[in-house]
């Protein structure tokens, strides 16, 4: 008789990597998520955070979170559907709707749940959902929970997307893409996606998890970046990147948001977002609008690091954003590079199969508006030394 736990006992790969001293995951950090963090008593340069605007320790953000904690307590003790909707939840939804220039917004407790709940509720058994092969895991899992037909197109390949659309018939269709792809750092070809959606009668959902505060003239994301805010039907985001919190939301037409309120299971059956997290997002939105220089600085850093890595000889793929991959060629080199960088005082994230194809193993670097030039220069110098030592460059 088969034992359900057999696969757990037989899973030894991670323990083998631990024994080799190269295991990079679940590293304990004992300080705030800033440009430098404390790990085992050492100060380490953080090049693996998604806090693109560096707002996790902004005084206004911390003060807003503390004030909400004092007024509302630590949690809501229930779901949004029942007793867990506070006045500040509704106020934030109204603020986000204005920010994204959409009719309405619905807040979920995590960014993952946002895609999970939105996609699974909207895509029915007679519908088709079309996703980029490199879309985020939350999008993939959302499609699995839906009852629709799932079609994947090659990453960024609009000819492949059109080929699939021609065979979808007259049923309901939705195209879902990341605005900025979370590992590769490239931007979805949204103008062509919108054009194809119009031609074939599909709706468009853009996951702007890594785009808010980064792309667009005012930081509103991918649709603003391309001037297509009226053409994108739904925008989903997480609060855990530029907005320095936890949670997520979907923005769109009021009728769609109203429907989701009553059919999105991850919303209805999950506890509501804590008050301090809600207040944090509101404060971050204020700063995005009041301090555009943060976004300008982030792009200065992005251009500096992209040029620096390329000049050193690293392969950075098609990245054009603060997410810059360093392709290593194989998994062993990725783990070794991460260790050598860590030993030299730099934290980065190795990305290996199954998160990426075997030939796309990489070191993921990401940058904050608060990184200093001396920190960046140190990073480039160290990367070049390590890259040469490992034969990557």
Tell me the per-residue pLDDT of 19-29, one tens digit each, with 9 for 90 and over.
Answer: 999 999 999 99
Contact 55, 243 (CB under 8 A): yes
Say what angle helices 373-389 and 293-312 make with each other, to 10 degrees.
Answer: 20
pLDDT one-digit tens code per residue, 253-300: 999 999 999 999 999 999 999 999 999 999 999 999 999 999 999 999
Query: In terms of residues, how long is the chain?
Result: 393
Q: What integer pLDDT is reported at residue 273 of this predicted model?
A: 97
Coil vs helix vs strand at 17? helix
Percent of the chain's residues with pLDDT above 70:
100
Q: Is 241 a catalytic residue?
A: yes
Q: Is 182 a catalytic residue?
A: yes
| Beta-bridge partners for 206 | 177, 235
pLDDT one-digit tens code per residue, 54-72: 999 999 999 999 999 999 9
Domains of the chain, first to last: 17-46+292-389 (3.90.1150.10), 59-290 (3.40.640.10)
Q: Which of 210, 225, 333, 371 is catalytic?
A: 210
Q: Which of 58, 241, 333, 371 is catalytic?
A: 241
Q: Find the radius of gyration of the CA atoms of the chain.
A: 21
Contact 52, 214 (CB under 8 A): yes
Q: Which of 138, 146, 182, 240 is catalytic?
A: 182
- Number of other CB atoms surrounding residue 375 within 10 Å: 18
State the Cα torsion 164-166-170-176 to the nearest 10°: 40
Query: Could you tell me where the beta strands, DSSP code E, fall in the chain?
Result: 36-39, 42-46, 104-108, 128-132, 149-153, 173-178, 203-207, 234-238, 248-252, 323-327, 346-347, 349-351, 362-366
What is the reported pTM? Answer: 0.95
Distances (CA, A) of 380 to 140, 318, 349, 377, 383: 35, 19, 16, 5, 5
The average confidence (pLDDT) of the chain is: 96
pLDDT greater than 90 at residue 330: no
State the Cα–Cα distance between residues 41 and 26, nearest whole angstrom: 16
State the Cα–Cα distance between residues 247 and 258, nearest whole angstrom: 19
């Amino acid at each position: 008789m088969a034992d359900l736990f057999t696969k757990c006992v037989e899973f030894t790969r991670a323990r083998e990597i631990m024994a080799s001293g190269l295991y990079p995951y679940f590293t304990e950090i004992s300080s705030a998520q800033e440009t430098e963090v404390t790990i085992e008593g050492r100060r380490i340069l953080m090049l693996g955070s998604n806090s693109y605007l560096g707002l996790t320790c902004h005084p206004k953000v911390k003060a807003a979170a503390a004030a909400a904690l004092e007024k509302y307590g630590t949690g809501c003790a229930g779901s949004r559907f029942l007793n867990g909707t506070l006045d500040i939840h509704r106020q934030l939804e109204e603020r986000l709707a204005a920010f994204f220039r959409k009719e309405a917004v619905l807040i979920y407790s995590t960014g993952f749940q946002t895609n999970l709940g939105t996609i699974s509720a909207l895509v029915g058994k007679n519908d088709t959902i079309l996703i980029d092969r490199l879309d985020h895991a939350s999008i993939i899992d959302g499609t699995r929970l839906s009852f629709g037909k799932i079609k994947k197109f090659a990453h960024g390949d609009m000819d492949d997307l059109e080929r699939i659309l021609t065979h979808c018939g007259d049923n309901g269709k939705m195209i879902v893409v990341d605005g900025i792809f979370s590992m590769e750092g490239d931007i979805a070809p949204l103008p062509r996606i919108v054009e194809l959606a119009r031609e074939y009668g599909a709706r468009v959902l853009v996951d702007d998890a890594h785009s808010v505060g980064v792309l667009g003239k005012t930081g509103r994301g991918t649709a603003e970046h391309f001037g297509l805010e009226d053409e994108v039907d739904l925008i989903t985001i997480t609060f855990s990147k530029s907005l320095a919190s936890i949670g997520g939301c979907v923005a769109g037409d009021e009728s769609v948001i109203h429907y989701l309120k009553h059919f999105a299971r991850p919303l209805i059956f999950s506890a509501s977002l804590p008050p301090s997290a809600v207040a944090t997002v509101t404060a971050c939105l204020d700063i995005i609008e009041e301090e555009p220089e943060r976004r300008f600085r982030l792009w200065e850093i992005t251009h500096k690091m992209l040029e620096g890595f390329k000049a050193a000889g690293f392969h950075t793929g098609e990245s054009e954003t603060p997410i810059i991959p360093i392709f290593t060629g194989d998994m062993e080199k990725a783990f070794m590079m991460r260790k050598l960088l860590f030993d030299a005082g730099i934290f980065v994230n190795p990305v290996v199969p199954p998160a990426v194809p075997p030939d796309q193993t990489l070191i993921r670097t990401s940058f904050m508006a608060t990184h200093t030039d001396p920190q960046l220069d140190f990073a480039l110098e160290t990367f070049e030394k390590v890259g040469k030592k490992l034969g990557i460059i």
